[in-house]
A and B are shown apart, each in its own frame.
Chain A
Amino acid sequence: MSASVRLLRRQMQGQLRTTEWRALLIATWIAITLTTLLSLLGDRLERGLIRESASVLGADMVLSSQRPIQDLRRQQAADAGLNSTSVIQFPSMISAGDDMMLSSVRIVQSPYPLRGQIQTRPAQETDIPEPGHAWVEARVMSQLGLSIGDKIELGYTELIVNAELISSPDRGSGFRSFSPQILVNEADLDASGILAPGSRAEFRLLLSGSTEQVNSFTLFLNESLGDEERLFTLQSDQPMGGGALASALNYLKLTSLITLLLSALTIFLSLKRFSQSQHLRCALLLSLGMTQRSMVMLYLMQLLLAWAVLALIGSLTGIALEQMVSRWLDELLPQSLPAPALWRYFTGAGVGLALLVLLGLPPTLGLSKVSVSALFRDEDIRTERRGLVLQLICALLLLAVLLSFLEAPIAALILLLFLLIGGAVLGSIAQFCLKHLATPLSKRLLLGRLLVMRLRQQRQWHRLQSAVAILLLTLLSVVWVSRTDLLEDWQAQIPDDTPNYFVVNIQPWQTEGLQSFLDNANVSAEFFPMVRGRITTLNGAPIHAQMTPEQLEHNTLNRELNLSWSNHAPTHNTMVEGQWWQGETTEPLISVEAEMAEILGLKLGDVLGFDLAGLEVEAQIANLRGVEWTSFQPNFYVIFDEATLNQFPATYITSFRLAQEQQELANQLIREFPSLTLIDIDQMLLQLSQWLTRLGDSSALILALSLICGSMLMLLTLQQALDQRRYEGALLQTLGANAKQTQHLDLLELMLLGALCGLMAAIIAEGVIALLYIHLLDIAPQLHLGLWLALPLASFAFFTVSGALLRKRLTLDQCYRLLRAH
């Protein structure tokens, strides 16, 4: 074995016992693990759900509309040489015996899909279910207790489940792509009686052809796209499905930025301390005949060797964690995730290498500047402050690597700046508070004045420690609370009589029967008609000409609205301005939601023009209403007088509350009115809470890694600080203080720092959570007493215990020796 290899091996073995080398290894391991986990998970999610691909769209392009797509479109596609097929997708209650569940039904016709494949178990010979049959996803099978051959009821028709749907493209857009899905032949649609004019459904025309045909038809469609139509192509920016998931993934990646930054900072400080501790050693190696080049190579080899081992361990840990997280998500995801690209397995190792090389290169090259003469002078050697340019270049390169990994560079850069500035501000505030906290103590304690002096001397260290501790504790608390408490607190403040069921797609002729069904069960419900329409004019002039770009982006102006009519004000709305019309009106009148009116600058007496299925209707604003959108009541931006709107085809909507013991009524309702769509809000909230919990779990996992990294960083700086204090302590002991007093001085400083960090974290976390309550959930903020207790205590304990463990008590003899060595 050559000298270099032996030296390398021994050197690594010896350095494994040092805090800086351990911190370096752990931080690198975490960075590799985390990047592997996110790279794999991100790729699988994107491949499976988010990224546009023919196999996700089920076609080369998809025309989607909230209204039936005109035959003309299909004819135009045929003229352009494209293949096409129609899909209708809507939510519906599916029942089997006494069980029922809300599912997303896809009514399809052959050929389907145009691109990609449907996988079923058992495999089927036909591309879509035969009439009278349905293919359903595993979640439906398990919740309804179905086996192959069992029957399900869809509206008025019964279908035999002859296959389990394993995966299928064209899952639809938005949240519906996550609902459990059922595939049904279009021949069964009429018999089900579910879809009537005005029913809520997404109508899609799937199209495929050569690239040229698709491109030219895309151009043609873009020019003639109707208000209600949307076009999805392989190149479109807007994802067909998984938008929420893409956001969640970005959120996880941004969370990971904090961990990566902490790892980078830990690695940087470890390497800095490590290289400083190696100066004498390097001088010695040079004195023994080693060339500067060999010595730098020795240290680079050491870093590379450490990287190789960590790349293996970190990648394996990352893969294991990815398996765990995708298993958590699996039950919530519509279909199992595809395997990631092979190179994604190496992302973590790549980022780890970038971290070690870019952070390690400047201090390692700095080692070559060490002079053997340092060994004669026995003094603290400092290499010259050369290489600043190299450090800067390396830091920028590293930043580029990290940002490109996160794939959202702007957001990451903003977060980075926020963290740096926020950290600096928090650190300064903490240091300021610490100074003022200690001043009163200085008169009461024996070494109080020393404590104040030390707090002044150590201010930079305190700023760094407290910034890291406060940021970490705050983030952990917010994630922890939002994981479960946020939704629970929101649910808890909902009044007991808040409706928990919506019924939509009620046809006019069904209202009477449904009303008496509910009356018989003593369930009160108000019915509201719904007509779809779009706001086109204000006081006779086109709306676009009168509104600012910001106003035009308002939710009510860029889509079709659900309009209603009523001759009396809804009981759950409040009158803000004006009066409700009495009885029959002579001219068309409308009631407008007050917030919308304020944003769009609408006043009483203004006349709004509407396009209702091609007919223009104008109506004057008679009053403004206050609406509680989270009341789970049918709410509308615009309500007409009855006479103006009742001539248009409408469906009805209602909501009501069923107590726990009345749940059976929901089943009865579906049996009696199979074509209605019953939406169970409790079930939807449950699904939402599952998502929040899983997302919370995933980010808590990432933050746990941040916590390990942050703790390493704090321990590292703590030890560095304690080393400096050893000299001071030794001096004090030789001047007459006893070991206990110097220990108390160290621990008092750490206790103050710990408790203060915890307290500040509790204040900030509570503030952030209060903002979430006010702005996100629109409820009154609540105090989380647990945080106020747990954070200061945990932080106090961490600083005190680690300080006590790291601090070694000095005997007087050791003090003399330490002072002599200085």
Chain B
Amino acid sequence: MTLLTPDGFILEAQNVAKSFPAQEQRLELFSALSLQVKPGESLAIIGRSGAGKSTLLSLLAGLDQPSAGHIKIAGQDLSSMDDAQRAAFRSQYISFIFQSFHLLPELSALDNVRLPLEIRGDEQAEQQALKWLKEVGLEKRVHHYPSQLSGGEQQRVAIARAFVTSPQLLFADEPTGNLDDETGQQIIEQLFTLNAEHKTTLILITHDPDLASRCQRCVTLNNGHLTERSL
């Protein structure tokens, strides 16, 4: 069941600020960012290098604490939780896809995919993992290790791993950044198809405008401000 904020958002950021201690004064990355995302929506966050996209993603995913403001996911205010509560919350609602795939090299594709389920104590882990590997077209590669898979295949394993826990929110950080154009296209196709089928909310960080245009919404992060871009 999808939990929402009273206004019907799965994710809501209100006046979020983030600053870092610099040499003599604090460096302010952004001061009052607000953002709302509806369930099942796909949102792209674009911006130039150093604009703070990754920091924003960390805040939205509850990996980091804002200097000010509130972030609510599925109706719950992350800033009122301690580290352990946030971790537990994340594990229940959120999945990630990374630019560098980040598969565990000593685990097979199957083991990599079932790992998050096993961490949660799911007894159906193997069946679920096999199902998801089949969905991403890797049913014949289940026992291969990451080093035996191509870059595209590795990212598909990572996608299967992200979806296997049925997350409500999926954060993807430059998912095609380490892939050639053709493979990147295939991966994006697959990602959006699965996203649509499973009604997952997708928040995607990229600096590729083409990729961003595949999302339902796109916001630009520039000079500490978020600007909605029409697609």
Residues of A within 8 A of B (CB): 2-4, 6-7, 10-11, 13-14, 280-281, 284-294, 371-373, 375-378
A290–B205 CA distance with the chains assembled, in angstroms: 24
- The 3 A-B pairs at the shortest CB distance, nearest first, are namely A3-B118, A14-B106, A289-B91
The answer to whether B87 and A291 touch across the interface, beta carbons within 8 angstroms, is yes
Most buried by B among A280, A290, A376: A376
Is the CB of B148 closer than 8 A to any CB of chain A?
no
Is the CB of B99 closer than 8 A to any CB of chain A?
yes
A455–B58 CA distance with the chains assembled, in angstroms: 40
The answer to whether A377 and B54 touch across the interface, beta carbons within 8 angstroms, is yes
For B55, the chain A residues whose CB sits under 8 A away are 373
The answer to whether A292 and B115 touch across the interface, beta carbons within 8 angstroms, is no
Is the CB of B22 closer than 8 A to any CB of chain A?
no
Is the CB of B77 closer than 8 A to any CB of chain A?
no
Contacts A284-B102, A292-B84; is A10 near B90 (CB within 8 Å)?
no
Q: Which A residue's beta carbon lies closest to that of B92?
A: A289
Most buried by A among B55, B102, B119, B205: B119
Most buried by B among A3, A7, A13, A286: A3
The answer to whether A286 and B98 touch across the interface, beta carbons within 8 angstroms, is no
The answer to whether A373 and B106 touch across the interface, beta carbons within 8 angstroms, is no
A287–B172 CA distance with the chains assembled, in angstroms: 12
> What would 20 A/B residue contacts be, using CB atoms closer than 8 Å?
A3-B114, A3-B115, A3-B118, A3-B119, A6-B111, A7-B104, A10-B111, A286-B87, A287-B102, A289-B165, A290-B91, A290-B119, A291-B88, A371-B58, A372-B58, A372-B61, A373-B57, A375-B102, A376-B99, A377-B54
Residue of B83, B96, B105 touching A287 (CB-CB under 8 A) = B96
For A281, the chain B residues whose CB sits under 8 A away are 104
Residue of A280, A285, A291, A375 touching B84 (CB-CB under 8 A) = A291
Which residues of chain B from 106 to 138 have any CB-CB distance to chain A below 8 Å in the complex? 106-107, 111, 114-116, 118-121, 125
Residue of A13, A284, A289, A372 touching B120 (CB-CB under 8 A) = A289
For B173, the chain A residues whose CB sits under 8 A away are 375-376
Is the CB of B79 closer than 8 A to any CB of chain A?
no
Is the CB of B195 closer than 8 A to any CB of chain A?
no
Instruction: Name the distance in Å between A185's Cβ and chain B's nearest Cβ.
Output: 76
For B106, the chain A residues whose CB sits under 8 A away are 10-11, 13-14
The answer to whether A2 and B111 touch across the interface, beta carbons within 8 angstroms, is no
For A3, the chain B residues whose CB sits under 8 A away are 114-115, 118-119, 121, 125
A10–B145 CA distance with the chains assembled, in angstroms: 12
Residue of B54, B84, B90, B107 touching A376 (CB-CB under 8 A) = B54
The answer to whether B161 and A288 touch across the interface, beta carbons within 8 angstroms, is yes
Q: Which A residue's beta carbon lies closest to that of B108?
A: A10
Is the CB of B190 closer than 8 A to any CB of chain A?
no
For A372, the chain B residues whose CB sits under 8 A away are 58, 61, 63, 96
Q: Which A residue's beta carbon lies closest to that of B106?
A: A14
4 additional contacts, CB 8 Å, given A287-B102, A294-B119?
Answer: A10-B106, A285-B119, A289-B91, A376-B205
Q: Which A residue's beta carbon lies closest to that of B171?
A: A376
Q: Which B residue's beta carbon lies closest to that of A821?
A: B100
The answer to whether A289 and B104 touch across the interface, beta carbons within 8 angstroms, is no
The answer to whether A2 and B64 touch across the interface, beta carbons within 8 angstroms, is no
The answer to whether B96 and A373 touch across the interface, beta carbons within 8 angstroms, is no
Which residues of chain B from 49 to 106 have any CB-CB distance to chain A below 8 Å in the complex? 54-55, 57-58, 61, 63-64, 83-84, 87-88, 90-91, 96, 98-100, 102, 104-106
Residues of B within 8 A of A (CB): 54-55, 57-58, 61, 63-64, 83-84, 87-88, 90-91, 96, 98-100, 102, 104-107, 111, 114-116, 118-121, 125, 161, 165, 173, 205
Residue of B88, B99, B116 touching A288 (CB-CB under 8 A) = B116
A287–B91 CA distance with the chains assembled, in angstroms: 7
Instruction: Name the distance in Å between A382's Cβ and chain B's nearest Cβ.
Output: 15
Q: Which A residue's beta carbon lies closest to that of B125?
A: A3
Q: Which A residue's beta carbon lies closest to that of B103?
A: A284
The answer to whether B90 and A289 touch across the interface, beta carbons within 8 angstroms, is yes
Contacts A10-B106, A10-B107, A284-B104; is A375 near B119 (CB within 8 Å)?
no
Instruction: Name the distance in Å between B154's Cβ and chain A's nearest Cβ.
Output: 13
Contacts A14-B106, A292-B84; is A375 near B98 (CB within 8 Å)?
yes
Instruction: Name the distance in Å between B134's Cβ and chain A's nearest Cβ.
Output: 21
A3–B84 CA distance with the chains assembled, in angstroms: 20
A292–B91 CA distance with the chains assembled, in angstroms: 12
The answer to whether B119 and A376 touch across the interface, beta carbons within 8 angstroms, is no
Contacts A10-B106, A291-B84, A292-B83; is A373 near B54 (CB within 8 Å)?
yes
Instruction: Name the distance in Å between B21's Cβ and chain A's nearest Cβ.
Output: 13
Q: Which B residue's beta carbon lies closest to that of A292?
A: B87
For B115, the chain A residues whose CB sits under 8 A away are 3, 7, 288
A6–B173 CA distance with the chains assembled, in angstroms: 29
Q: Which B residue's beta carbon lies closest to that of A289?
A: B91
Residue of A4, A292, A376 touching B98 (CB-CB under 8 A) = A376
Residue of A14, A285, A286, A376 touching B58 (CB-CB under 8 A) = A376
A375–B119 CA distance with the chains assembled, in angstroms: 19
Contacts A10-B111, A11-B106; is A288 near B119 (CB within 8 Å)?
yes
For A294, the chain B residues whose CB sits under 8 A away are 119
The answer to whether A375 and B96 touch across the interface, beta carbons within 8 angstroms, is yes
A3–B110 CA distance with the chains assembled, in angstroms: 13
For A288, the chain B residues whose CB sits under 8 A away are 91, 115-116, 119, 161
A289–B83 CA distance with the chains assembled, in angstroms: 13
Instruction: Name the distance in Å between A7's Cβ and chain B's nearest Cβ.
Output: 7
Most buried by B among A13, A290, A372: A372
A11–B64 CA distance with the chains assembled, in angstroms: 28
The answer to whether B116 and A289 touch across the interface, beta carbons within 8 angstroms, is yes
Q: Which A residue's beta carbon lies closest to that of B102?
A: A284
A320–B189 CA distance with the chains assembled, in angstroms: 64
For B87, the chain A residues whose CB sits under 8 A away are 286, 289, 291-292
A128–B61 CA distance with the chains assembled, in angstroms: 89
Instruction: Name the distance in Å between A187's Cβ and chain B's nearest Cβ.
Output: 80
Instruction: Name the distance in Å between B5's Cβ and chain A's nearest Cβ.
Output: 23
Instruction: Name the distance in Å between B157's Cβ and chain A's nearest Cβ.
Output: 13
For A14, the chain B residues whose CB sits under 8 A away are 105-106
The answer to whether B63 and A373 touch across the interface, beta carbons within 8 angstroms, is yes
For B119, the chain A residues whose CB sits under 8 A away are 3-4, 285, 288-290, 294
Instruction: Name the distance in Å between A302's Cβ and chain B's nearest Cβ.
Output: 13
A507–B224 CA distance with the chains assembled, in angstroms: 110
The answer to whether A373 and B64 touch across the interface, beta carbons within 8 angstroms, is yes
Most buried by A among B54, B88, B99: B54
A283–B102 CA distance with the chains assembled, in angstroms: 10
A291–B88 CA distance with the chains assembled, in angstroms: 7
Instruction: Name the distance in Å between B7's Cβ and chain A's nearest Cβ.
Output: 27
Q: Which B residue's beta carbon lies closest to that of A13?
A: B106
The answer to whether B105 and A373 touch across the interface, beta carbons within 8 angstroms, is no
A4–B118 CA distance with the chains assembled, in angstroms: 8
Instruction: Name the distance in Å between A375's Cβ and chain B's nearest Cβ.
Output: 5
Most buried by B among A286, A291, A293, A373: A373
Q: Which B residue's beta carbon lies closest to that of A368?
A: B83
Instruction: Name the distance in Å between A378's Cβ and chain B's nearest Cβ.
Output: 6
A9–B96 CA distance with the chains assembled, in angstroms: 25
For A376, the chain B residues whose CB sits under 8 A away are 54, 57-58, 98-99, 173, 205
Residue of B63, B102, B107, B116 touching A371 (CB-CB under 8 A) = B63
A90–B105 CA distance with the chains assembled, in angstroms: 74
Q: Which A residue's beta carbon lies closest to that of B84?
A: A291
Contacts A288-B115, A288-B116; is A373 near B84 (CB within 8 Å)?
no
A376–B61 CA distance with the chains assembled, in angstroms: 12
Most buried by B among A286, A289, A291, A377: A289
A280–B107 CA distance with the chains assembled, in angstroms: 15
Instruction: Name the distance in Å between B97's Cβ and chain A's nearest Cβ.
Output: 10
Instruction: Name the distance in Å between A97's Cβ and chain B's nearest Cβ.
Output: 73
Q: Which B residue's beta carbon lies closest to that of A294?
A: B119
A20–B39 CA distance with the chains assembled, in angstroms: 46
A289–B99 CA distance with the chains assembled, in angstroms: 19
A14–B111 CA distance with the chains assembled, in angstroms: 14
A286–B111 CA distance with the chains assembled, in angstroms: 16
Most buried by A among B61, B84, B98, B114: B98
